[in-house]
Structure 1
Amino acid sequence: MKLKTIIGTALLASACTLPAYAQVGEQRHNFAVGINGGINLNSVSFSPSVKQKNLMGINGGVTARYISEKYFSMICGAQIEVNFSQHGWDEYYQDYPTISYTRTMNYIDIPFLAHLAFGKDRGLQFFIHAGPQIGFLLSDSEKIDGNWEEVIANGANIVTEQHGKPIDNKFDYGITGGAGIELRTKAGNFLVEGRYYYALSDFYNSTKKDYFSRSAHGIITAKITYLFDLKK
């Protein structure tokens, strides 16, 4: 756990210091704020493994972005978001279609992103986002259907340790990144983006005495963002 904490802290520090390095190239002071919304396709990396399919959830919140400079053809800046985001997993057993289990976990996620873009000041741009992300668990719920006891009694090799198990660690951290396109107009800036989040933390305890040695989120996100400039 110490190594994961060090990595997470280093990534967070690097994102927070991005503006300090924006001293080369054509200086800009463009500050924009807005809203974002989209969907998550969630899964969890378990060890021992748990069979599952993607669980769909919502993702949305507020965005703030600062563009500090244009270095040759690359536009450089930093972006922060505060989002309500649904994580979790949906267990799926092809040989046992009568049973199902879903755990939905509601988080406040805060990604700290480097923003690198290429394109025109007015018109279409291509951008890349990357940086650390932290999250705070608000609540979770589970839904279980079918006669699991009967299926297991008949010899099914299924992991059920996670069923009904409380979440041990409510603080989540990891790295996220993605790419998209932005249309910059007089009416505002419209962004369409795909992003992936890889958790470095486990939400269940993972010491030698615990059942799971790994329980971490993996999330594919598709979102739309609208930003309007406060300062150009």
Structure 2
Amino acid sequence: MKKLKLTISATQKCRYILILTGLVIATRLSAQVGDYRNEFAIGVNGGMMMSSVGFSPRVPQKQLAGLSGGITLRYTCEKYFKSICAVVAEVNYVQTGWKEDILDVNDNPCFYADDPDHPLYYERKMNYVQIPVMARLGWGRERNGLQGFFQLGPQVGFFLNEKTNTNLVKGYEPTEQRASYITAQDTMAVENKFDYGIAVGAGMEYSHPKLGHFLLEGRYYYGLGNIFGNTKSDYFGKSNFGQIVVKLTYLFDVFKTNNSKIK
């Protein structure tokens, strides 16, 4: 009798993480088992995003730089042992997409014969509204001083518009053969305008009792959705986002726990 082997794909693992994160958030909000907190802060965030798209078949790329900014909401519910537990939500406008690395078979930039001074380039800039909801754990000072933090949770995105910047001309061939023959993505419009995935971040926060909270964070987003179709009849089997964000956030307290022992 043959043994049945069960395998779990990377996408399935990420989905399990999303479900687990949701359960953690729900549990923290419904059951207080540590030191009580009831604190709400709101503010703004802004930073730089570096993006690429995980195409299959693979498309050689460089990181595409874009801006990210929006509003941040944070509700702190308890301190469990030394961990400060909170839920963070954001609504952000972001510039994402991909930038192709167009090389010839000798790994040199490609050129057209009549324009040898400008290498071939292609980039697709795409604007989204992104909404991450993350469970947050912090360690350190809450009211006056430094605190390190880690946060993890699901994120959804809504496509707004796109713009292509390129000097590629249909029907023209470069002086040397391109190393990658994958070019279908250059003329394909976004098919799936709803994006979803998982975001994970870590950083430092400085709090001042009168000035508020100042945060510096690095974050990575792994998309579970695809911007193009991925059925057997589609060209790409995968076309998901990978994004690295470095951002600054400022928060001010709307209400705080009335406890003089909180430092």
TM-score (norm 2): 0.82
- Whether 2:119 is the aligned partner of 1:96: answer no
- How many Å apart are 1:93 and its aligned residue? 2.0
Taking structure 1 as reference, are residues 18 and 165 closer, same or farther at Cα in structure 2, changes over 3 Å only? Answer: farther
> Which one of 145, 162, 167 corresponds to residue 190 of structure 2?
167
Deviations 1:65-97 (A, max 9, x none): 000001111100100000001110000123315
CA distance in 1, matches of 2:82, 2:14: 36
Aligned partners of 1:115 and 1:127 also within 8 Å: yes
| 1:62 partner amino acid | I
Deviations 1:11-59 (A, max 9, x none): 6743652543551110000100000000100011000011110000000
Deviations 1:114-147 (A, max 9, x none): 1100001220000001100000001111112144
Provide structure 2 residue ranges, at least 5 long, that are not aligned to the other structure: 1-10, 104-108, 112-118, 257-263
**Match of 2:128?**
107
Taking structure 1 as reference, are residues 15 and 134 closer, same or farther at Cα in structure 2, changes over 3 Å only? Answer: farther
Greater share of strand: 1
What are the equivalent positions in structure 2 for 1:29-40 lying under 5 Å apart? 29-40=38-49
What is the SS of the residue equivalent to 1:90? strand
Taking structure 1 as reference, are residues 41 and 117 closer, same or farther at Cα in structure 2, changes over 3 Å only? Answer: same
| 1:74 partner amino acid | S
What is the SS of the residue equivalent to 1:196? strand
- How many Å apart are 1:163 and its aligned residue? 1.2
Provide structure 1 residue ranges, at least 5 long, that are not aligned to the other structure: none
Q: Which ranges of 4 or more aligned residues in structure 1 deviate by more than 4 Å?
A: 2-9
> Which one of 111, 120, 138 corresponds to residue 160 of structure 2?
138
Aligned partners of 1:134 and 1:173 also within 8 Å: yes
**Match of 1:84?**
93
Aligned partners of 1:127 and 1:179 also within 8 Å: yes
Aligned partners of 1:18 and 1:114 also within 8 Å: no
Taking structure 1 as reference, are residues 15 and 84 closer, same or farther at Cα in structure 2, changes over 3 Å only? Answer: farther
CA distance in 2, matches of 1:9, 1:68: 20
Aligned partners of 2:110 and 2:175 also within 8 Å: no
What is the SS of the residue equivalent to 1:162? helix
**Match of 2:33?**
24
| 1:96 partner amino acid | C
What is the aligned-residue identity percentage? 43
Aligned partners of 1:107 and 1:138 also within 8 Å: yes
Taking structure 1 as reference, are residues 188 and 5 closer, same or farther at Cα in structure 2, changes over 3 Å only? Answer: closer
Aligned partners of 2:42 and 2:74 also within 8 Å: yes
Computing the radius of gyration from Cα coordinates, the structure with the larger value is: 2
TM-score (norm 1): 0.92
